[in-house]
Amino acid sequence: MSQQQRTRFITDLWLHEVGFTPHTVDGQPTRHWLLWLDKDLGLELSFGREKPQPWYFCYLRTRGDHSPSRFINLRDLSFKHEVIMLVQALTGRRWNAAQRATCRV
């Protein structure tokens, strides 16, 4: 896989750089990444697998504990632009590089 292809994929480093907050969930083998879209609605990603290409589980969630009733499994994501387009669709606003690091989309 070329460097250009690798940079299109979601990574933990990229999620951190754009304002997602890492946290752990009991019983889960990988870290979860959370971006609050407003005060009660968040987008949560967790690593799925590396091959044949890396992908992340993607959930829409509400505030509160980490119970299944607070999550909707949206889809699996592999590419950065998929995250950006999903955030734009959910918020109705363009992806703003200046605001993303503060978790305000």
Residue 100 pLDDT greater than 60, yes or no: no
- With tokens 């290409």, the residue in question is 53
Model confidence at 2, in pLDDT bands (50, 70, 90)? low
Using a CB cutoff of 8 Å and minimum separation of 24, what contacts does 69-77 make?
Answer: 71/44, 76/48, 77/10, 77/45
pLDDT of res. 103 = 47
pLDDT of res. 6 = 58
Residue 46, in any domain of the structure: yes
Residue 62, in any domain of the structure: yes
pLDDT in tens, 14-70: 999 999 999 988 888 888 999 999 989 999 999 998 888 889 999 999 988 777 778
The count of domains in the chain is 1
Q: What is the pTM of this model?
A: 0.82
Grouping H, G, I as helix, E, B as strand and the rest as coil, residue 95 is: coil
pLDDT of res. 71 = 87
Residue 94, in any domain of the structure: yes
Q: Which domain holds residue 11?
A: 3-100
Residue 83, in any domain of the structure: yes
Residue 21, in any domain of the structure: yes
Residue 105, in any domain of the structure: no
